[in-house]
Amino acid sequence: MSKIIIAIDGYSSCGKSSTAKKAAAYIGYSYIDTGAMYRAVTLFFIQNHVSASSEKEVAAALENINIEFRLSTTGLNETYLNGLNVEDEIRKLYVANKVSEVSAIAEVRHAMVAQQRKMAKKRGFVMDGRDIGTVVFPEAELKIFMTADPLVRAQRRQIELMAKGEITDLEDILKNIEKRDIIDTTRAESPLRQAEDAVVIDTTFMTLDEQVDQVILLADMVISQKLRG
């Protein structure tokens, strides 16, 4: 079997995680959501009043953070922070509002990248984030860069939050998305950018199924090319 690494990067809320999760399940690969890791670190910072501007506090906090993914009874990977299931909490807007600030800290990124490389010891996985194809696994055989119109992304996030019982103003979500785009693309440490060899998927007018099909098609092409040597 010729297993590959599939790296999916792109802006927030353009369908990366949902697409990656479904495509991975179809191909029979594991799925690693690196955004969930940065969100879990952010939740820890909020809960423990860690100051993002204090190197000492950040270093001490990182020593005390343990993030794991565990399979739920429904077969989904859920995020655990120091043994507690935080899957729902990390998706809330108060965490989203702070996550770009926390994920811009160099020490936080170094710790997460090291953990991501450790988690993915065996080939045959889909990993999504902002720097997977550029920094974490530049050797990935398939790199996808996802983008979509900010308003469409805000509408999708609103529907997602509503499904979880969180009623949020569309304007607030749009502001959060635009602010995160700026921080994610302009931070000094591994900013979000498209890898030169990435395939761009603009999901503005695509359904989730279409996005998943496109990723599966690309993966099939790369895997069969690899098999042919």
The residues that touch ligand DC, with contacts defined as CB under 6 A, are 12, 34-35, 38-39, 99-100, 103, 129-131, 180, 184
Distance, CA of 117 to CA of 110 (rounded, Å): 11
Residue closer to ligand DC by CB (options 102, 223) is 102
- CA 185 to chain centroid, in Å, comes to 15
* Nearest approach, Cβ of residue 226 and ligand DC (Å): 25
CB of 99 to ligand DC, least distance (A): 4
Distance of alpha carbon 154 from its chain centroid, rounded? Answer: 17
Q: How far is residue 184's CA from residue 139's CA, in Å, rounded to a whole number?
A: 22
Give whichever of 139 and 228 is closer to ligand DC, judged by the CB atom. 139
- Closer to ligand DC by CB, 4 or 190: give it: 190
CB of 227: closest distance to ligand DC in angstroms? 29
**Half-sphere exposure of residue 194: CA atoms within 13 angstroms, side-chain side:** 11
CB 166 within 8 A of CB 93: yes
Identity of the residue, 100 or 223, whose beta carbon is nearer to ligand DC in the bound complex: 100
Tabulate helix, strand, coil % of the chain (nearest 5). Answer: 50, 15, 30
**C-beta closer to ligand DC: residue 185 or 224:** 185
In whole angstroms, the minimum distance from the beta carbon of 47 to ligand DC comes to: 17
Residue position matching structure tokens 């950040």:
58
Residue found by looking up tokens 């809320």 in the block: 13
Question: What minimum distance in Å lies between the beta carbon of 175 and ligand DC?
Answer: 14
CA distance 75 to 87: 14
DSSP code, position 90: G
